[in-house]
Amino acid sequence: MATILTPTEALPWFLKYLKGRNISFEAVGAVSSFLTVYGFLPPELEAYVTDLEEFLQECNTAYFVKGAAPISEFQYDWYKDRLQEMRPTSPILEQVGHLMEDEDG
């Protein structure tokens, strides 16, 4: 029977896995998985959530202000859904879609 590592045991593995991955599907998925399994994110993984917020803000600006989508709608929605899981009170989640409305009046 397999045993689940404690958060303290798992964290070094997650950090090693995430090294250099930045905001890839794999990195965000791994951080989301840690939260799902252990019910919290240690400070070392919170930085990835902040990076994800910044990435989504850059995508919003590129799409709504510059008119160019840097990633597909599927990718954007997947990242946004992971952010909703990991930081449901993120102000980025409330901004989505509102920039276009503000521009039109």
- Domain borders along the chain are 12-104
Instruction: Give pLDDT, residue 84.
Output: 92
- By the 8 A CB rule, do 52 and 62 touch? no
Instruction: Give pLDDT, residue 53.
Output: 92
pLDDT tens, residue by residue, 30-40: 888 888 889 99
pLDDT band at 7 (very low <50, low <70, confident <90, very high): confident
| DSSP 8-state code for residue 32 | H
Instruction: Give pLDDT, residue 18.
Output: 78
Match 């929605």 to its residue by tokens: 77
Instruction: Give pLDDT, residue 97.
Output: 54
pLDDT tens, residue by residue, 49-101: 988 999 999 988 888 888 888 888 899 999 999 999 999 999 989 875 544 44
CA distances (Å), 3 to each of 16, 35, 51, 64, 70, in order? Answer: 20, 17, 31, 47, 41
Average pLDDT over residues 2-15: 78
Answer yes or no: is pLDDT of 103 > 70: no
